[in-house]
Structure 1
């Protein structure tokens, strides 16, 4: 139900997940599992036709992360690697799919969204294991948008403060549901970056705490926090 040696890094767009993933993996002698921002074949099409490609975008992400997850869990179980630190877990994908469905323009239709959730249930809830520890990086929306603008990715420049505010409220709900399922969650205030040695110390401390697995969860089953009718954004 839990995979020893599997640490997930969760947090909103622009919080600094990739940097911590790389640094923490090096400190723990684990392997970093990073998001492949440039590897999604639907990304450009999605931004030119969101309603036309929104569903397939999320299905591609789900399938990609599912394959990635099974591969690294197998490698851990066979002793080929000590463990992994993953930049955004597969459970977080449901946050973005739900928000696209709740968008005033229905980027993902109700029919497509329910089909997506059925696929998620069959693939993820039946097959995959939770991380040994989920690290949640918490920042203010204003800080996130400043960091987004600083890193200068062209595809992210349309992200609004309203969107990030809604996204972060949905993340808080997601974290509460994961905690309710018994997943160990380490919440870190990431307004100011902390040293990787400090985070590694906390990881060791939290990993020794007993887990209390109670149930599989499909995160964000309740009504999501919606946003004003502006351009939608994807989980990058």
Structure 2
């Protein structure tokens, strides 16, 4: 890989962690995985979203910032590059969709402060997966608090990512349509993704359909 810092993004159930983990193992990369299971507000949010949205988003932002700050700003001489299964911007994307306008305004003030302090990925990979397949993946991995996620919520989050991507001018973004791939169980599909990611891309948005 010719990038020092790669972030894998996508909707809930898109395969971010699976892909980042496989790449880290195969390329001896430093792996950063989001510690979402440690967030006690997450199961509460899925049951009562209006009540728990703000503490959930604030706690996620704080945890992501601390993790990325600690790991991105420290050098690991034995790793070739760093790959993460999230980009800090997801905090703003989810908050915009989950919070009422007054709370989002307060939230974004804090977010903009921390966003300026973190390195940006040299390559942002967005895994595009349709809602029906996201739901299949969510059911398959079996996290109890995710089983009642509605299609409308997944659609809303997907659109939030697209809104962000369309506005970017200074990031190198690779959108991978992986709806016909099974990169976890089929090595040939995984290799297709690697072949694409190993190419050199200028700043801007690049869409790949397999």
Does TM-score exceed 0.5, indicating one fold?
A: yes
What is the distance in 1 between the residues matched to 2:173 and 2:38? 29
TM-score (norm 1): 0.75
Q: Which moved more, 1:78-87 or 1:131-140?
A: 78-87
What number of residue pairs does the alignment pair up? 196
User: What are the within-5 Å matches in structure 2 for residues 41-80 of structure 1?
Assistant: 41-76=40-75, 79=77
Whether 1:197 aligns to 2:191 is yes
What is the distance in 2 between the residues matched to 1:47 and 1:139? 21
What is the distance in 2 between the residues matched to 1:90 and 1:99? 15
Q: Confirm or deny: 8 A CA contact 2:10 2:127 kept in the other structure.
A: yes
User: What are the within-5 Å matches in structure 2 for residues 85-234 of structure 1?
Assistant: 85-101=83-99, 109-124=100-115, 126-177=116-167, 180-191=168-179, 192-194=181-183, 195-206=189-200, 209-211=201-203
TM-score (norm 2): 0.84
Shift of 1:69: 1.3
Q: Which moved more, 1:44-53 or 1:140-149?
A: 44-53
Unpaired segments of 5 or more residues in structure 1?
102-108, 213-236
Q: Confirm or deny: 8 A CA contact 2:31 2:84 kept in the other structure.
A: yes
**1:48–1:187: structure 2 CA closer, same or farther, 3 Å change rule?**
closer
